Amino acid sequence: MAGIVAVAFADGWDPRFSATNIGSIEQTRHNLTLSYNNSGRASMMDNVRNNYGEVCVYCHTPHGANSQINAPLWNRTINNASNYSIYDKPTTLGLEGRLNLPGPSSLTCLSCHDGTIAIDSVLNMPGSGLSPGGNTRNTEVGSPDMGFLDRWASSNPGMGPVGDHLSLGPESGIGGCKICHNRINDTLVDLDGNPTPFAPDFTAFVIGTNLRNDHVVGITYPTTFGPGIDYNEPEVAIPGKWSFFDSNGNNFAEKDEVRLYDSGAGPAVECASCHDPHGIPSNGPGTEFIPSFLRVSNSTPNSNGIGGPSGLCLTCHAK
């Protein structure tokens, strides 16, 4: 491990340096080119995932998007919704008839965060699309086509691995990106006893395919409200699209407003109900993004009074 750390620092990459989380997705952990590190390079990561050199391409493509999911120009392989074990706590009341499989606005997030699909498993690579030097295409659903992903390295030497395209890893245990990004490496100490994390711990980022221990997704939100209903009513409801909590009253779903996605069975809670993968400023433009890509802060209210202790939770839950 000491040898790896020495190589890392010698190469100009400081693994303790984090994104600023200010300005744009480029300055967040969702920039999978890792362009925010001190040297502007990510040579270590180039050994385990294709460095496409573009931030957006890891999720989106202008043409030839994934046809198996109703998501905005989605450029990633996904899993079938049936791959996931859904929340089923028998002591939770009021769930009968409302539990469903994850919808598109959860499957997109899970395509990376369930830890089974390579983080570089795109359908179209930068350039003319498809793969460089060929017209093959990656799989839209299920296990990535490693031969397809290897084509990037063959055309861009040093910017990707061959046959070793890592996923985030398993929810428990070591594997994938968690080979380095685990609790052990996050708590290393130097000879003076000072913390010197080699790689930040990604354990909390891996949701896995068993969703029973996570906030329920795919669940239909109530559509009637009043006494005895433990949920708040969204100010705006657009059947067949979404409902949302219109905190500023402009009838437009802003990025910092919680929304419920309607895929045909009514408004439902999905991953993107509470999270925006691009980042939400905590108190207006130029301020640090709310942690964990949350839409509403659970700690400090912004200048408009939105958020605060349990602010995100209390947006939906009337407690």
Assign 285 to helix, strand or coil: coil
Per the prediction, the chain carries an average pLDDT of 88
86 DSSP assignment: P
Exposed / middle / buried, residue 267 (Cβ in 10 Å: 0-12, 13-18, 19+): buried
Instruction: Outline where 26-184 has alpha helix (H).
Output: 104-113, 146-155
pLDDT for 137-167, tens place per residue?
899 999 999 999 999 998 898 899 999 999 9
As a whole number, mean pLDDT of residues 251-262 equals: 96
Q: Is the per-residue pLDDT at 242 higher than 80? A: yes
pLDDT at position 187: 76
Q: Domain limits of the chain?
A: 221-319
Q: Which of 72-76, 129-133, 149-153, 160-164 has the lowest mean pLDDT?
A: 129-133
pLDDT for 6-38, tens place per residue?
444 444 455 555 788 999 999 999 999 876 655
- In what side-by-side order are the strands of the sheet with 219-220? 219-220, 267-269, 259-262, 242-244, 236-238
Q: Is the per-residue pLDDT at 311 higher than 70? A: yes
Left if phi > 0, otherwise alpha if psi is -120 to 50, otherwise beta: which for 199? beta
Q: In sequence order, what DSSP letters do the residues of 181-241 get, joined into one string?
A: SSTTGGG-B-TTS-B--SS---GGG---SBGGGS---SEEPPS--STT--BPPPSEEETTT
pTM of the model: 0.90
Contact (CB, 8 A) for 64 and 129: yes
As a whole number, mean pLDDT of residues 72-90 equals: 92
pLDDT at position 104: 97
Query: Residue for token digits 């659970």?
Result: 298
Confidence of residue 132 (pLDDT cuts 50, 70, 90): confident
Q: Is the per-residue pLDDT at 65 higher than 60? A: yes
Contact (CB, 8 A) for 102 and 217: yes
Contact (CB, 8 A) for 232 and 210: no
As a whole number, mean pLDDT of residues 294-306 equals: 89
Distances 3 to 7, 9, 198, 200 between C-alpha atoms, Å: 6, 10, 11, 18
As a whole number, mean pLDDT of residues 130-143 equals: 85
CA dist., res. 71 & res. 36, Å (int): 27
pLDDT at position 168: 96
As a whole number, mean pLDDT of residues 285-298 equals: 95
